Structure 1
């Protein structure tokens, strides 16, 4: 408890330091920057602006109210992270739910980690910290990755190194953005999962995508059932190859059959299928007749 009180007092002392125009810190090399950057400091909530690079766009009101009640009872347990913009002016990097909940209960200040970062670093930090700390929906994550590609010109390999995710994982999220907007909304609202979306994306036609989406929702299809539905659709697109009957490479005429009959002294039955395979049936009428045919074959 003593350490907590000491830490809180330190945070308030540093907060006073930041409000002194004579000690305005703008870079990591400025005087007293080492006392501020990376430390927990009580900042006025009104001095903090929302990060325009924030990947999260949906905030559940019930969840915010629950967090607000917890903060009212226990305080802000985990500080938010901000970057310094100007004198007594900061921009949120991560912790928007905590900031919003604190505003709901009328807090005047909030414990904060202070960073000094440019816009590119702020975007990357916001993405990484929010993905790791909060349950963003798959489309929000995909949009965040796309912003890193568009605004920071990162390749998927570079992004993999920066955010600590496999390249294949990043690629799977980005592919979701090829889905029809209606389906993207369905994923964000929780009507279908990312697994459903990954199955649907294998269909190029967006009209068919939405048809499949409606079936998933109306019939409560599982991901496995959706994959089977997509597979059946893809199979239906394949051209039907007409089966060709192989012609027999040779024929047996009546004279050849007669030669068999004359040789064995009994009517020989010769049958042949269309693939050229066949059989010869040699009938016999007694044991003596059978032995006679055997002698003919051996001779």
Structure 2
């Protein structure tokens, strides 16, 4: 407890230093800047403004109340990060949930790290720190990636290094922004997952996207079921149009039955002599083993 008290006292001492007009720190080269940068400072909430670059645009009220309850009991464990705007004036870089919850509790001050940066650096810090530390939904992460690429003017390759993610992961998030806005909203509200969204991206027509999206919601389809639905939707365009017509009725009917039973695409080929082959598609080892178990269960 003594250690915590010492840290809080230090924070209050630095806060007093920052309120002294004669010690107005504007850059890392200014006198006493080394005492502030990198240290935790107790700042008055009224001196902090919300960061317009904050990627999170919606806050779960129940989760915010739970955080407020935790802060009331334990205090703010993880300091927020701010950048200095002017004398005794700051702007949030990251930690808006903690900031909002602290105001909800009625705190006067909050522990903070102070950084001195220009707007572009502040934007990059806000986006990168939120991507890595905050529980953003897939669309918010995608928007953050897009803003970093467009506003900081970096490539996906450089971005992957900055945020510590594979380039393919970043690409998958960015592709979500091609979905119809209604579907994006559904993902943000938790009606569907990123897996559902990634499956729907493969449908180019937005009207068809929405039809399948409604079916996902109505029937509570899993990601796997959605992938199968999308695959079946695309199958008529991928397969030769003459194939189903060239099959005898018994073979075509049997192909459809097998496809329904195995929950996978089934192809049937017949020779002129009447002999034939059955081909069952599978995506990976797990899907292959699933099909085998399904066949066993039908015995």
Q: When the two structures are superposed, what TM-score results if normalisation uses the length of structure 1?
A: 0.79
Give the drift of 1:239: 6.6
In the alignment, the residues of structure 1 paired with residue 162 and residue 238 of structure 2 have an alpha-carbon distance, to the nearest angstrom, of: 42
Which SS does the other structure have where 1:111 is aligned? strand
Pairwise mapping of residues 140-219 of structure 1 onto structure 2 (< 5 A)?
140-219=140-219
In the alignment, the residues of structure 2 paired with residue 88 and residue 54 of structure 1 have an alpha-carbon distance, to the nearest angstrom, of: 21
2:138, 2:173 within 8 Å by CA — same for their partners in 1?
A: yes
Which SS does the other structure have where 2:203 is aligned? coil
2:132, 2:163 within 8 Å by CA — same for their partners in 1?
A: no
- Count of aligned pairs: 248
What stretches of structure 2 of length at least 5 have no aligned partner?
A: 247-270, 274-299
Give the drift of 1:74: 1.4
Which SS does the other structure have where 1:176 is aligned? helix
Residue deviations 1:89-116, cap 9 Å, x none? 1111111111001101111111111111
In the alignment, the residues of structure 2 paired with residue 4 and residue 174 of structure 1 have an alpha-carbon distance, to the nearest angstrom, of: 43
Residue deviations 1:154-191, cap 9 Å, x none? 11011111111111111000000000001001100111
In the alignment, the residues of structure 2 paired with residue 58 and residue 201 of structure 1 have an alpha-carbon distance, to the nearest angstrom, of: 24
Q: Mean alpha-carbon deviation: is it higher for 138-147 or for 235-244?
A: 235-244
In the alignment, the residues of structure 1 paired with residue 8 and residue 171 of structure 2 have an alpha-carbon distance, to the nearest angstrom, of: 44
2:52 equivalent in structure 1: 52
1:79 equivalent in structure 2: 79
In the alignment, the residues of structure 1 paired with residue 42 and residue 272 of structure 2 have an alpha-carbon distance, to the nearest angstrom, of: 91
Deviating beyond 2 angstroms after TM superposition, the runs of 4 or more aligned structure 1 residues are 237-245
Pairwise mapping of residues 96-111 of structure 1 onto structure 2 (< 5 A)?
96-111=96-111
In the alignment, the residues of structure 2 paired with residue 242 and residue 115 of structure 1 have an alpha-carbon distance, to the nearest angstrom, of: 67
In the alignment, the residues of structure 2 paired with residue 150 and residue 129 of structure 1 have an alpha-carbon distance, to the nearest angstrom, of: 18
Answer yes or no: is 1:37 the counterpart of 2:75.
no
In the alignment, the residues of structure 1 paired with residue 99 and residue 50 of structure 2 have an alpha-carbon distance, to the nearest angstrom, of: 9
Q: Mean alpha-carbon deviation: is it higher for 129-138 or for 92-101?
A: 129-138
2:226 equivalent in structure 1: 226
In the alignment, the residues of structure 2 paired with residue 17 and residue 242 of structure 1 have an alpha-carbon distance, to the nearest angstrom, of: 81
2:82, 2:115 within 8 Å by CA — same for their partners in 1?
A: yes
What stretches of structure 1 of length at least 5 have no aligned partner?
A: 246-272, 276-299
In the alignment, the residues of structure 1 paired with residue 42 and residue 69 of structure 2 have an alpha-carbon distance, to the nearest angstrom, of: 20
In the alignment, the residues of structure 1 paired with residue 12 and residue 119 of structure 2 have an alpha-carbon distance, to the nearest angstrom, of: 28
Which SS does the other structure have where 2:7 is aligned? helix
Q: Mean alpha-carbon deviation: is it higher for 170-179 or for 128-137?
A: 128-137
Give the drift of 1:274: 7.4
2:131, 2:144 within 8 Å by CA — same for their partners in 1?
A: no
Q: When the two structures are superposed, what TM-score results if normalisation uses the length of structure 2?
A: 0.79
In the alignment, the residues of structure 2 paired with residue 116 and residue 28 of structure 1 have an alpha-carbon distance, to the nearest angstrom, of: 7
1:251 equivalent in structure 2: none
Which SS does the other structure have where 2:117 is aligned? coil
In the alignment, the residues of structure 1 paired with residue 208 and residue 272 of structure 2 have an alpha-carbon distance, to the nearest angstrom, of: 43
Please provide the CA RMSD for this pair.
Answer: 1.8
Give the drift of 1:128: 1.9
Give the drift of 1:72: 1.2
Which SS does the other structure have where 1:92 is aligned? strand
Residue deviations 1:122-149, cap 9 Å, x none? 1121122212222100000001111112
